[in-house]
A and B are shown apart, each in its own frame.
Chain A
Amino acid sequence: MTNRLRVLRAEREWSQAELAQRLRVSRQTVNAIETGKYDPSLPLAFSIARVFGQPIEQIFSPPMLPGE
């Protein structure tokens, strides 16, 4: 799964720590999501969407399937 977390965070000039505080997770978790090492649960994905004020599908995209 890919996401636009880093771009959205940069647009708001938030640090990873600041975003982590808003989401009530650790900075390492924000970093792992941004770098694609970890896919958040659905509740956390909804929290991220709420924090950025955007629909979830505009932040997260499914991985491309072969032949797409």
Chain B
Amino acid sequence: MSCHSKPIVWRLLGFAFLSAALAIAVAVARKNGLIPPSLRWVGALLPVAPILGYFAGLSSWIRSLDELQRLIQLEALFIQFAITAVLIMAYGALAEVRVVPDIAASRLWPWLWLSLFVSWAFGQAMIRRKYV
């Protein structure tokens, strides 16, 4: 990652933390009955909004990279996609036959993000070794 990309990394982290903070705030507000039933969907979708900013930032970061760095990101994203898809499919199949607990989608997304991040970091490390 080049030095000029550091501010954008902080921006991406900011969006991720904002989403997490909103998720916690909404959970606390819901627990204390501060969200009226008619606005339940607003509270539920509130933490999702910063993720749109996150992906917009990610897109502009990738566009700012040079051709080799873009190639590295493309290959790392493919590894991320492949690992996450295989993990989710395997977990779903194992949950189907009750070898592992069947986790609801509402509880699954933090694990999905963790898988996305770890597999992307792994993919980057693998691909960088090839070119750099």
- B3 CB to nearest chain A CB (Å): 9
Complex interface: chain B residues within 8 A of A44 (CB): 67
Q: Is the CB of B131 within 8 A of A40?
A: no
What total of chain A residues lie within 8 Å of the partner, measured CB to CB?
13
Does A26 count as interface, using CB distance less than 8 angstroms?
yes
Does A28 count as interface, using CB distance less than 8 angstroms?
yes
- Give residues of chain B (51-107) contacting chain A, Cβ–Cβ below 8 Å: 65-69, 71
Q: Is the CB of A25 within 8 A of B67?
A: yes
The secondary structure that dominates the B interface is helix
Q: Is the CB of A32 within 8 A of B67?
A: no
- Give residues of chain B (10-30) contacting chain A, Cβ–Cβ below 8 Å: none
Question: Once bound together, how far apart are the Cα atoms of A31 and B69, in whole Å?
Answer: 12
Q: Is the CB of B67 within 8 A of A29?
A: yes
Does A38 count as interface, using CB distance less than 8 angstroms?
yes
> What mask results when residues 26 to 60 of chain B are scored 1 for a CB within 8 Å of chain A, else 0?
00000000000000000000000000000000000
A41-B67 in contact given A28-B132, A31-B132, A32-B132 (Cβ < 8 Å): yes
Q: Is the CB of A28 within 8 A of B69?
A: yes
Complex interface: chain A residues within 8 A of B67 (CB): 25, 29, 40-41, 44
Closest to B130 in A: A37
> What mask results when residues 12 to 27 of chain A are scored 1 for a CB within 8 Å of chain B, else 0?
0000000000001111
Chosen A-B contacts, 26 in total, with CB atoms closer than 8 Å, are A25-B66, A25-B67, A26-B2, A26-B65, A26-B66, A26-B68, A26-B69, A28-B2, A28-B68, A28-B69, A28-B131, A28-B132, A29-B67, A29-B69, A31-B132, A32-B68, A32-B132, A37-B130, A37-B131, A37-B132, A38-B68, A38-B71, A38-B131, A40-B67, A41-B67, A44-B67
Tell me the B residues contacting A by CB distance below 8 Å. 2, 65-69, 71, 130-132
